[in-house]
Amino acid sequence: MTVIRVALPVPLRQHFDYLLPENSSVTVGCRVQVPFGQRQLIGIVWQIDPDSPFEHCQLKAVSHILEDAPVISGTLRLLLSFAAEYYHHPLGEVLTAALPALLREGRQLRDYALTGYRLTAAGEAAQSSDFKRSAKQLALWQTLQTSPLAEDTLLQQHHRSTLKQLIDKGMVVAETLERQPYAYQGLAQTPLQLTVDQAIAVSAVQQAYGKFQPFLLEGVTGSGKTEVYLQCIAPLLARGEQVLLLLPEIGLTPQTLQRFVQRFNVPVLAWHSNLSDGERLSCWLQAASGSAAIVIGTRSALFLPFRQLSLIIIDEEHDLSLKQQDGFRYHARDLAIKRGSLEGCPVLLGSATPSLESLYNCQQKRYVHLELQHRATGQSLPPFELIDLKQQQLQFGLADSSIKQIRGQLARGKQVMLFLNRRGFAPALSCQDCGWLTECKRCSTFTTYHKHSRQLLCHHCGASRPIPRQCGSCGSARLAPVGQGTEQLEEHLQQLFADTPVTRLDRDSTRRKGALGELLKDINQAGPRLILGTQMLAKGHHFPFVTLVVIVDVDGALYSADFRAPEQLAQLLTQVAGRAGRGNDKGKVLLQTQHPEHALLQDIIQNGYAAFARSALLERQQTTLPPYQHLALFRAEALQSDLCQQWLQQVAELCQAYNGLQRLGPLLSPLERKAGKYRWQLHLYSQNRPLLHHALGHILPEITRWPLSRKVKWQLDVDALDLS
């Protein structure tokens, strides 16, 4: 009997051997159903006839072989194997993370085959005169004259009832169709005239077709990076090849999807977590067959099984959302570079505020650096004006001079955007008598007051509770909101500017399906409007009528202990500011602060992001922080704080054996308690990446054998970005 080695979706860093039933065969990369304890699990065949340490009589038999052809093969298999090794994550969990939910559940692929319809012999023998009584049946019969058609294509033009009538007459029959690669039908829209910088960028990428070459496209906000993407893609579509575009946020997908659909006469598909399981599987199948020309998706779209992937684009490559923050903690940008090398295709990273890691790779000549230094419209970048809040009267958190300038722009029929990175009505409720504040019972943080839903909500663990009627300390009924969130500012703006519509964009206002699209549609109509929101506003949106951006409160981010905080704040400020003046009118940015003299604010305002990033890189080099060192982060969580500290101390002692490995910790996490558990960290740094991974490869098997490892929840985060 044949032994196969199977990768299973369990948190164990090992494979499992099983016996194949007699007279059956299987291919590496296929799914099988196998017994695992009391359960039946879906796994991926990873090896056939491995050197197994077990006798046949000790092995269980495979329950079911789910398909003949592999669902994971070729370059995708190599990519996932590399990812499991690099991020030190169990291979079985990595492989299943790359599959649509329906395949993880064990659904048969044949149940999702493409259904089509063709004429029977009776249908082919029919005459147009046979359909005198039904013009609809005649039209459908004529449509099927040339070739069979897929069901979804057919039903775009004809009613299902008409189809059923012809089936009942024996003129049409259903059949299974092979999914075919897409057919290119030319451009649906004329490309825009490129600037000199754009033309240079497009030419450089096109010259790299057919080989691996990473590019960093650093373009100021409004410089036309999307047009560069579109014109880089066009020649590949004419050759029948495929393109992947990764975006950091679901919210950007509909807007970008629309622009690509308007330009190209090819199938453009979306991939993100808001799709149904069936929609995701359909996208997966179309990518694999080549019937999808372009896929626009969030980070997990990187694992789609493309038939002929020829270009990978990562927009907003600096965005933290490209890093998975739980489970399999991969970075989509970094794995995209690896996939590009395996596929032998160029990878284009785009951003107005590139990450320091990507700029470092340009300095090291690993990436080709392309720059768009001017806006495509010819408009200059909006200037900053610092509003010193110590010198101003405030109304609802807005300085008098800010309100005056807002009124001036609205009077001209323009739009004003206000940025406040706190959703909800207020960060907490406070007792007016004793100063007590509403805190989360499970986290070391305050609960946010949401007035519309009448709840206190923890934005860290998601716990919610009703608004208390009295103080939890002294019993007073005098509770009032402290601070300001987007809900409260929206109310105040409606009072201050009663005749102007206010549109709020945050996670609460866009929760309902289709809500974001409706809000963006309102914003894209000319006329005075106030647009208010959180960092969702900074994610690449094009608001042509916004001439003034007001950053309401920046001070909370100025004094963070995280070494990446200055970079992230500089990126956020630059991206938010970039929403102003993208149309025909000049823009301006007001930055309200209690600390106008702060060095970071002065650097961004006086010199811009590019100069800040170069000086920040020099500072990182002097302090030997990433990207000049490589970071791996161990996290531990438990109901008892001392268990975490003890476990991480044992890990730190284990690391002492490796010279060149620097340790920081164990340390309490900045958010000490979350969802009822205490949180600690251990940072491992090394200038030698292979040494760091060698050490982790030896440390992890040892850790899993410790009895204490079963008492704490622990994770390893390679190239960690979130240090909270």
Kindly state the average pLDDT of the residues 228-244.
96
CB atoms within 10 A of CB 273: 9
Q: Which tens digits make up the pLDDT trace of 158-171?
A: 898 999 999 998 99
The single-letter DSSP state of residue 522 is: H
**Average pLDDT over the chain, rounded to whole?**
90
Kindly state the average pLDDT of the residues 662-685.
92
DSSP bridge partners of 347: 214, 312
More confident residue, 724 or 713: 713
**Highest mean pLDDT, choosing among 105-109, 264-268, 336-340:** 336-340
Lowest mean pLDDT among 406-420, 472-486, 592-606, 640-654: 472-486
Kindly state the average pLDDT of the residues 521-538.
86
Report the pLDDT value the prediction gives residue 391, as an integer from 0 to 100.
77
pLDDT band (50, 70, 90) for residue 16:
very high
415-419 and 64-65: which strand pairing? unpaired
More confident residue, 197 or 133: 197
Element (H, E) at 612: helix 599-622
CA angle (590, 596, 600) in 5-degree steps = 95
Q: Which tens digits make up the pLDDT trace of 363-386?
A: 999 999 999 998 887 778 888 999
Q: Which tens digits make up the pLDDT trace of 48-91?
A: 988 888 888 889 999 999 998 999 999 999 999 999 999 999 99
Domain spanning 3-97: CATH superfamily: PriA, 3(prime) DNA-binding domain (3.40.1440.60)
Q: Which tens digits make up the pLDDT trace of 620-673?
A: 999 999 999 999 999 999 999 999 999 999 999 999 989 889 999 899 998 898
Lowest mean pLDDT among 31-45, 160-174, 457-471: 457-471
Cα–Cα separations (whole angstroms), residue 345 to 212, 215, 342, 385: 4, 11, 8, 44
Measured over the CA atoms of residue 478, residue 484, residue 487 and residue 488, the dihedral's sign is: positive
Cα–Cα separations (whole angstroms), residue 39 to 18, 36, 315, 658: 15, 5, 42, 40
pLDDT band (50, 70, 90) for residue 295:
very high
- Give residue for tokens 């410790």: 706
Report the pLDDT value the prediction gives residue 631, as an integer from 0 to 100.
96
Q: How far is CA 233 from the centre of its chain?
A: 21
Residue 345 marked in a binding site = no
Q: Count the residues in the chain.
A: 724
Cα–Cα separations (whole angstroms), residue 651 to 9, 631, 697, 715, 718: 26, 15, 13, 12, 15
Q: Which two tokens stand for residue 53?
A: 């340490």
**Does residue 424 carry a pLDDT above 90?**
no
309-315 and 346-351: which strand pairing? parallel
Residue 458 marked in a binding site = yes
Would you identify the CATH topology of the domain 196-372? Rossmann fold (3.40.50)
**Does residue 355 carry a pLDDT above 70?**
yes
Please report, as a single letter, which amino acid is at residue 379: Q
DSSP bridge partners of 387: 592
Report the pLDDT value the prediction gives residue 461, as an integer from 0 to 100.
83
Phi then psi dihedrals of residue 482, to 5 deg? -115, 130
What SS3 state is found at 338?
helix
Report the pLDDT value the prediction gives residue 155, as an integer from 0 to 100.
84
pLDDT band (50, 70, 90) for residue 251:
low
What SS3 state is found at 41?
strand
Q: Which tens digits make up the pLDDT trace of 572-583?
A: 889 888 888 877
Kindly state the average pLDDT of the residues 197-225.
95
**Highest mean pLDDT, choosing among 37-41, 242-246, 597-601:** 242-246
CB 347 within 8 A of CB 314: yes
Q: What percent of the chain has a predicted confidence (pLDDT) above 70? A: 99
* Distance from C-alpha of 154 to C-alpha of 162, rounded to nearest angstrom: 11
Please report, as a single letter, which amino acid is at residue 355: S
- Cis peptide bond upstream of 707, omega within 30: no
Kindly state the average pLDDT of the residues 574-601.
87
Report the pLDDT value the prediction gives residue 150, as an integer from 0 to 100.
84
Q: Considering only CA atoms, which of 75, 100, 720 is closest in space to residue 336?
A: 75
pLDDT band (50, 70, 90) for residue 257:
confident
CB 63 within 8 A of CB 36: no
Per-state percent for the chain, helix, strand, coil, to nearest 5: 35, 25, 40
pLDDT band (50, 70, 90) for residue 286:
very high
Q: Which CATH architecture has domain 384-423+485-619?
A: 3-Layer(aba) Sandwich (3.40)
Kindly state the average pLDDT of the residues 530-535.
88
What SS3 state is found at 713?
strand
pLDDT band (50, 70, 90) for residue 618:
very high
**Highest mean pLDDT, choosing among 241-245, 444-448, 582-586:** 241-245
Burial string for 470-489 (b: 16+ CB within 10 Å, else e) reads ebeeeeeeebebebbbbbbb
pTM for the whole structure: 0.90
Q: Which one of 2.40.100.10, 3.30.70.600, 3.30.70.3400, 3.90.1150.10 gives the CATH number of domain 630-718? A: 3.30.70.600
The DSSP-derived string for 288-310 is HHT--SEEEE-GGGGG---SSEE
pLDDT band (50, 70, 90) for residue 252:
low
The single-letter DSSP state of residue 323 is: B
Give the burial class of 76: count Cβ atoms within 10 A of its Cβ; 0-12 exposed, 13-18 middle, 19 or more buried: buried
CB 80 within 8 A of CB 95: yes
Long-range contacts of 280-287 (CB under 8 A, 24+ apart): 280/100, 280/101, 280/102, 281/100, 281/101, 281/102, 281/103, 281/107, 281/112, 282/112, 284/99, 284/100, 284/103, 285/109, 285/112, 285/114, 285/179, 286/179, 287/242
DSSP bridge partners of 17: 5
Cα–Cα separations (whole angstroms), residue 215 to 336, 351, 401: 12, 11, 43
Report the pLDDT value the prediction gives residue 253, as an integer from 0 to 100.
67
Residue 431 marked in a binding site = yes
Report the pLDDT value the prediction gives residue 336, as an integer from 0 to 100.
98
Q: Is 403 left (phi over 0), alpha (psi -120 to 50) or beta?
A: alpha
Phi then psi dihedrals of residue 607, to 5 deg? -115, -20
Largest CA distance in the chain: 90
pLDDT band (50, 70, 90) for residue 206:
very high
CB 295 within 8 A of CB 304: yes
SS3 for 621-666, per residue? HHCCCCCCCEEEEEEEEECCHHHHHHHHHHHHHHHCCCCCCEEEEE
Q: What percent of the chain has a predicted confidence (pLDDT) above 90? A: 56
pLDDT band (50, 70, 90) for residue 284:
very high
* Distance from C-alpha of 78 to C-alpha of 82, rounded to nearest angstrom: 6
* Distance from C-alpha of 419 to C-alpha of 549, rounded to nearest angstrom: 7
Q: Which two tokens stand for residue 45?
A: 């065949």
More confident residue, 375 or 244: 244
**Does residue 247 carry a pLDDT above 80?**
yes
